Chain A
């Protein structure tokens, strides 16, 4: 079912991630034994959830494309469900929401049959035109624009943007250039750098953050955190690039910079949405993290942008 003869760089990279998890789990055990008076529950939950996230993500890079597409479709399903649960939908649009969910299997099916043209226009064009048509047939005009616009926005973020992770994975098949394993390695590069960028921005912000960068949207984000994080990610991108991607050293560093800056933007865009709705977390799906959109916020920006970056430069 899975190709266990993964390319060595991918095996090493995956091994590295599991090593990080083992380290995190054992250090929390150690800390708990040292200082039992402190409350470690939140951190323990967070790490336990990380095991689940890494486990699910590993399924997508083990060489079985249909399995990977199903996993990504489920991720989009959960993300859209979370978004629609938060968002004010109209009772009249009940059936319309059902149609919106149906776009998920189709969007990933286009990738499965390597139909790039359909994949890239399906949600921005066809779904964009179809859903308002279905809404207008129901005939409720009160709140029409707001309902149509927020539904389309949710689909763009949780289905269109996130499906670009799967597009990176299938890029060699979509274009007929390169070998299939390259897709898995680039996907690993994208997702790992995006997540490490979140960590790096947090650490730089905590240690030397002074100037607030977006005080109204995200009071804890600082200019120092942003710049330090983006530069760290550029260096990491430059280091990992030769192993996992076809990038030249310059393009690898630029890919890191792209992920560093755009990951930050994705993070604060989702933060702005949460603030507008008036919630702290997007959901409760991932104990210790919040919702699935809280975890994937940066990827909503980095996945499509990274995809087009590689597509333009190498595929």
Chain B
């Protein structure tokens, strides 16, 4: 039932909004993981980010794609909580929680062989500006050192519907997908690698400059 809801959500909302209303070009779609367990990391500027990522995967794989999202935001009230967990399919992450492991749900998903979607900036921030990378992903990878971590840069979604906005305004969106990242022993080095990779991918989404004469 949940799988059906999630597939319908992608088919009837995510794909039409992203492909028709916005319009998207993707570089290196073939680099997306085709099976789990795997982690996809992306920059985060908009609620549309997850719709854009969903629209990249084949429908059959959607039940396996699970985005981690802030529990304090998406479980605010029961209606939103039902929608977020059953229709969108988020894994709630308790931010700043000290009582228990905030990443327990993510670990469970990777154990199940799911494709986990993480926004390592932790929050949406300002459009087209990359915030600091949170180290949660590094802790997660300590337990799963061999799974692929695929970086994705999403350009233009923050303009289409940024923080505090509820109306998706049409803008063309560019998505660049990078090669899987190696896991580094050093936490800071790994976070820097993620940041640098995302910034490199950002360059690929920018339009080409005119020929100089």
Contact = CB atoms under 8 A, between A and B. Distances in A.
Interface stretch (A65-73, A88-96, A228-236, A304-312): A88-96
Interface in B142-174: 156, 159, 162, 165, 167, 169-172, 174
A278 B209 contact: yes
A279 B208 contact: yes
Contacts of B211: 219, 280
Interface string B194-212: 0000000000000111110
Interface string A277-289: 0111101110000
B25 interface: yes
B210 A81 contact: no
Contacts of B213: 215, 219
B169 A78 contact: no
A284 B175 CA distance: 12
A281 B207 contact: yes
A98 B209 contact: no
A95 B210 CA distance: 32
A302 B213 CA distance: 28
Binding site of A, secondary structure by majority: helix, strand, loop or mixed? helix
A85 interface: yes
Nearest to B207: A279
Given A82-B172, A94-B169, A283-B172, A89 B159 contact: yes
Interface string A141-169: 00000000000000000000000000000
Contacts of A188: none
Contacts of A94: 162, 165, 167, 169
B23 interface: yes
Given A85-B171, A98-B167, A279 B210 contact: yes
A86 B207 CA distance: 9
A82 to B, nearest CB: 6
B100 to A, nearest CB: 38
Contacts of B162: 91, 94
Contacts of A97: 169
A278 B210 contact: yes
- List 10 tightest A-B contacts by C-beta distance, closest first: A219-B213, A279-B207, A85-B172, A280-B208, A280-B210, A81-B170, A284-B25, A97-B169, A85-B171, A98-B169
Interface of B: 23, 25, 127, 156, 159, 162, 165, 167, 169-172, 174, 207-211, 213
29 contacts: A77-B170, A81-B23, A81-B170, A81-B171, A82-B172, A84-B170, A84-B171, A85-B156, A85-B171, A85-B172, A86-B207, A89-B159, A91-B127, A91-B159, A94-B162, A94-B165, A94-B167, A94-B169, A98-B169, A101-B169, A219-B213, A278-B209, A278-B210, A279-B209, A280-B207, A280-B209, A281-B207, A283-B172, A284-B172
Given A82-B172, A95-B167, A281-B208, 19 more contacts: A81-B172, A84-B170, A84-B171, A85-B172, A86-B207, A91-B127, A94-B165, A97-B169, A98-B167, A98-B169, A279-B209, A280-B207, A280-B208, A280-B209, A281-B207, A283-B207, A284-B174, A285-B23, A285-B172
